[in-house]
Amino acid sequence: MALSPLLLAAVSVLLLLPPPQAAQSAASPRVFSVVDYGAAGDGARYDTAAIQAAVNACAAAGGGRVLLPAPGDYLTATVHLRSGVVLDVPPGARLLGGTRQGDYPPESRRWYVVLAENTTGAGVAGGGEINGQGGAFVVTPSDQKNIMVSWNTTGDCEGDECRPRLVGFIDSKDVRIHDITLNQPAYWCLHLVRCDNSVIRNVSIYGDFDTPNNDGIDIEDSNNTVITDCHIDTGDDAICPKSSTGPVYNLTATNCWIRTKSCAIKFGSASFFNFERLLFDNITIVDAHRGLGMQIRDGGNVSDVMFSNIKMRTRYYHPSWWGRAEPIYITTCPRHPGYKEGTISDVRFINISSVSENGVFLAGSRHGLLRNLKFENVDLTYKRWTNYTGGLYDYRPGCQEMVKHRTGGMMLEHISGLEIDNVKMRWSKGSLKGWDVNPLLFRPSTIDGLSFHDWQSLDVQ
C-alpha cells in the first residue's frame, strides 16, 4: 500500500483543477438557456429538441453551461452531451426521463436519460434533480423485491434488466459530476464506461429500496476516478467497480454515506480484467445486506486495495437479494466451470467497525487464492435482530451458489497470508440465534500464513 499517499495526492489535484474546457471558458462563461430554444418545462410536453439544440449550440460555441431554468420540469428522451458542455440543473428544476422505449436509442447499451460519448470536459451540475421516473417501470410492487418492466422483445438485451439507465459517460475524459441529485433510476443510476480523470462530488442518489439493479455508481473499465461527499440510498449495489473490457485502477472513494439492500461497495461481478490501487476511506454504511464486497468471477485479479475508517451496520434481507449480512465479503471463484480463477492480494482493512448479523466471509478458490490480507484496528460486533434464516454461505453469482454452513465470526477458505492485528469480536448475549459462537471457522488444509496479534473474542450485553 505504499502508493496510497500518491493516490491521496491525486485526489487533491483532481478536486482542485477544473477540466481544460472549464478553465478556457472561465473568463467568459457561456450560458445557453433551454427556454430560449423552446423548452416548455411543464413536465407534460417533451423538451428533448430544445435541450439538444441548446447543447449543440453550446458545443459549437466552444463549451459552457446549458441551463434548465427553475422552476420547471423538463421531460425528455435521451439527451446527448458534447465536449465542454455542462448540463446545469439548478435547485427547483428537474430533468425527467421518458418512460417509453421509443424515447431511447435503438441499442440498449445507449439507453440513458443523459448520455455523453467520446467527450472531453462534459459534466452535470447545478444543485437540482435528474429523475428517471423509476416507479413507472414497476410492474408489481413488493416490499420483498419489485417486479420490473423488461424491454427485451427486440432481442437487443436479455432477461429482466432491459431498462434505461439514468446518466452515462462512455469513452470520455475529464468528467465532472457534482452538486446534483439523481433520483429514481429505472436501472443503473450513474455509469462511467472507459472514462479517465473523473470526479464525482456531492452527488445524492435515491433509488427505490425495493427495486433490483438500480445501482448507485458503476465504475466500469474506468481509471483515475474520485468519488467524494456522496449520499447513496438505493436498493442495489451502491459503489460498484467492474472490469468488462479493460482494467480499473486508481479509484478513490471518500466521505460517503450509503444505505442499500445489496452491497455497499462491491467489486464485480464483471471481473475480466484487473483492479489495482483502490482506496475507500471515511465511509458510513447503514443497514446494508453486505458491507465491503468482492465478487471476482471472471479471471481478473485484485491488488493494492485499502478500506479505512469505515463504520457499518449490516443485516439480513430476503435471500433473493445477493448478500447474507456480511460486513466484509471477499471471494474469488469461477463463474462457470472452466473459467479462469482470479487472485485477490494485498488488501488492508484499517480502522473498521461493524454491527452485523453475520460474520466476515473470506473465500478464495483452489487456483485463485486470497493472499496477504491484513485486518488492523477492527471492531466486529455480532448480534441478530431480524427473523431471516442464517446458516448459509452465499457464493452467488455462479460457483457453489448457496451452501448450508455454520456461522462464525470469520469464515475462511483458500487463503495464503492473513494478518490480524488488534481485532475484537464482540458477541451480543441473547441475540445470536442460529450462530455457532466460534470466532474462526476454516479447514486447515486450505489456509496457511495466519498471524494473530492482540486478538480478542468477547461476550457483551
In the chain, domain spans: 31-459
Rounded to an integer, the average pLDDT of 167-172 is 98
pLDDT on residue 22: 47
d(CA 446, CA 197): 40
* Strand pairing category for 275-288 and 302-314: parallel
Q: Which of 50-54, 320-324, 390-394 has the lowest mean pLDDT?
A: 390-394
Dist CA 135 CA 137 (whole Å): 5
What is the per-residue pLDDT for 19? 54
Say if residues 209 and 236 touch (Cβ distance below 8 Å). Answer: no
* pLDDT over 80 at 289, yes or no: yes
Side-chain-side CA neighbours of 434 within 13 Å: the count stands at 17
- Helix H or strand E segment including 106: none
Tell which wins on pLDDT, 153 or 28.
Answer: 153
Q: Express each pLDDT in 231-281 by its tens digit.
A: 999 999 999 999 999 999 999 999 999 999 999 999 999 999 999 999 999
**What torsion, rounded to 10 degrees, do the Cα atoms 116, 120, 126, 130 define?**
10
Average pLDDT on 175-193 reads 98
Q: Which of 297, 196, 285 is nearest to 234 (CA)?
A: 285
- pLDDT digit string (tens) for 206-232? 999 999 999 999 999 999 999 999 999
Q: Is the dihedral of CA 319, 295, 293, 117 positive or negative?
A: negative
Residue 433 has pLDDT above 90, yes or no: no
Q: Which residues contact 34 (CB under 8 A, 6 or more apart)?
A: 41, 47, 50, 51, 54, 66, 67, 68, 69, 74
Per-residue pLDDT, 23? 43
| DSSP code of residue 30 | -
The model's confidence at residue 9, banded by pLDDT at 50, 70 and 90, is very low
The closest of 123, 47, 39, 135 to 83, measured between CA atoms, is: 123
Residue 347 is predicted with a pLDDT of 98
342 contacts: CB under 8 Å, gap ≥ 6: 271, 296, 298, 299, 300, 301, 302, 332, 368
What does the pLDDT look like over 380-417, one tens digit per residue? 999 999 999 888 888 899 888 888 878 889 999 999 99
Mean pLDDT value of segment 290-298 = 97
Query: What is the pLDDT, as a whole number, of residue 381?
Result: 96
Q: Does pLDDT of 1 surpass 50? A: no
Taking residues 294-302, what's their average pLDDT?
Answer: 97
pLDDT for 257: 98
Mean pLDDT is lowest, of 20-24, 100-104, 279-283, for 20-24
Lowest mean per-residue pLDDT among 121-135, 267-281, 297-311, 439-453: 439-453
pLDDT of 62-101, one tens digit each? 999 999 999 999 999 999 999 999 999 999 999 999 999 9
Give the dihedral of Cα atoms 340, 341, 345, 349; nearest 10 deg. 130
Lowest mean pLDDT among 175-189, 291-305, 429-443: 429-443
Mean pLDDT over 9-22 rounds to 50
pLDDT of residue 159: 80
CATH code of 31-459, in short, is 2.160.20.10
Q: Which residues pair with 115 in a beta bridge?
A: 80, 168
- E strands within 150-230? 165-170, 173-183, 190-193, 196-206, 217-220, 223-228
| Mean pLDDT score across all residues of the chain | 92
| pLDDT at residue 455 is higher than 80 | yes
Q: Looking at residue 406, what is its pLDDT?
A: 80
